[in-house]
């Protein structure tokens, strides 16, 4: 009844060198890696173990990537689930999944638990309307409450689970139940911001390592001229450019291939055939 289970990566294979443009966040998260590598040392030194970190920011800027890199750098198992996977109508299913997730992570500690889109399971509680005649709605609300309560119980009882780091990610901080944000549950909230021009260039460089790029391609011009493009979109750009290069029979990605890829990934009036005069 408590399927689906978390996807587990022995270790993610992702490292901080795969991330760019969010140096401050990465810097702050180094401490978690140090802790996961040697929880006993923190204990011996009398340092309160970190446990919960909330990653907040718009889609595609690297929240999942950062979470994976923490596990990857520390070489520990990574338990990943999406908030929506806990949302069920049947009472008790979501909370059983939470219990199961934490239990498995504790057995294999040190480890990292990551719940993406945590807002889906931890939405601000409106209170169950006893006047509502919609039983299905009431049951779903009740189930969501039970699931969130179970998550809070797990986070509060975390001292017994030393060596497990809990990471939650959201791009809708405003929707989160305040109970989740109370001190002691998340030690830290870290903003993962969209990259600026320098960040975009660094991200392009990271992804350029993964494809065959001609040294003549001027990545900085793209970094300058693509405001608003996230890490996810820039990664997609170089993948697309590689496909275009193959299609054009090039041995490595040329500037014209990247230009073509930008064009393909840009949806604008011109692309839609709208003449703005
Ligand atoms: P969502 O909220 O949609 O889950 P997210 O913030 O978790 O978004 P990721 O899934 O981490 O975004 O990013 C998707 C992909 O985009 C990454 O696997 C990576 O290839 C690329 N990417 C995103 N941000 C960065 C970054 N800062 N540095 C390098 N690559 C990035």
Q: pTM of the predicted model, to two decimals?
A: 0.88
Q: Sorting pLDDT into bands at 50, 70 and 90, what band is 2? A: very low
Summarised one tens digit per residue, pLDDT across range 209-218 is: 999 999 999 9
The pLDDT of residue 42 is 87
For residue 116, pLDDT beyond 70: yes
Query: Distance between CA 108 and CA 29 in Å, rounded?
Result: 21
Query: Distance between CA 150 and CA 165 in Å, rounded?
Result: 17
For residue 21, pLDDT beyond 60: yes
The pLDDT of residue 223 is 97
Provide the H-helix boundaries in the chain.
23-37, 39-44, 63-74, 93-107, 135-156, 178-181, 197-208, 219-225, 231-247, 255-265
**Residue whose CB lies within 8 A of the most ligand 1 atoms, among 206, 232, 234, 239, for a mutation test:** 232
ipTM over 0.85: yes
* CA 66–ligand 1 middle distance (angstroms): 8
* CA 199–ligand 1 middle distance (angstroms): 13
For residue 1, pLDDT beyond 50: no
Please identify which residue in the block is written with the tokens 């049951």: 139
Give the CA count within 13 Å in the CB-facing half-sphere of 222.
30
Query: Distance between CA 69 and CA 112 in Å, rounded?
Result: 10
**Closest ligand 1 atom to Cα of 232:** 16
C-alpha closest to that of 105 among 167, 62, 56: 167
Asked whether 57 and 63 are in contact (CB, 8 A), the reply is yes
Q: What is the dihedral of CA 126, 56, 164, 4, to 10 degrees?
A: 60
Give the CA count within 13 Å in the CB-facing half-sphere of 270.
4
Percent of the chain with pLDDT strictly greater than 70:
86
Asked whether 11 and 75 are in contact (CB, 8 A), the reply is yes
Give the CA count within 13 Å in the CB-facing half-sphere of 147.
31
Average pLDDT, the chain: 87
Summarised one tens digit per residue, pLDDT across range 70-111 is: 999 999 999 999 998 988 767 788 899 999 999 999 999 999
For residue 141, pLDDT beyond 80: no
Summarised one tens digit per residue, pLDDT across range 174-196 is: 999 888 888 778 888 999 999 99
Mean pLDDT of 227-250: 97
């Amino acid at each position: 009844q408590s399927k689906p289970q978390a996807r587990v990566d022995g270790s993610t294979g992702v490292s901080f060198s795969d991330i760019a443009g969010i140096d401050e966040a990465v810097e702050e998260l180094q401490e978690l890696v140090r802790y996961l590598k040697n929880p006993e040392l923190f204990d011996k030194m009398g340092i309160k173990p970190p446990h919960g970190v909330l990653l907040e920011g718009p889609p595609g800027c690297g929240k999942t990537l950062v979470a994976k890199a923490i596990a990857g750098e520390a070489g520990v198992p990574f338990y990943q689930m999406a908030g929506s996977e806990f949302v069920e109508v049947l009472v008790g299913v979501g909370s059983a999944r939470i219990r199961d997730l934490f239990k498995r992570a504790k057995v294999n500690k040190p480890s990292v638990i990551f719940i993406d889109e945590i807002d889906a399971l931890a939405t601000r509680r409106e209170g169950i309307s006893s006047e509502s005649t919609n039983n299905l709605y009431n049951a779903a609300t009740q189930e969501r409450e039970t699931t969130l309560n179970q998550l809070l119980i797990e986070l509060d009882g975390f001292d017994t689970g030393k060596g497990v780091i809990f990471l939650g990610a959201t791009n809708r901080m405003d929707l989160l139940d305040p109970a989740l944000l109370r001190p002691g549950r998340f030690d830290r909230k870290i903003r993962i911001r969209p990259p600026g021009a320098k960040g975009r260039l660094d991200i392009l460089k990271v992804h350029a390592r993964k494809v065959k790029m001609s040294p003549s391609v001027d990545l900085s011009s793209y970094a300058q001229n693509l405001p608003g493009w996230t890490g996810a979109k820039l990664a997609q750009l170089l993948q697309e450019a590689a496909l275009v290069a193959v299609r054009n029979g090039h041995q490595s990605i040329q500037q014209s291939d990247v230009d073509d890829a930008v064009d393909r990934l840009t949806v604008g009036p011109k692309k839609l055939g709208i003449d703005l005069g």
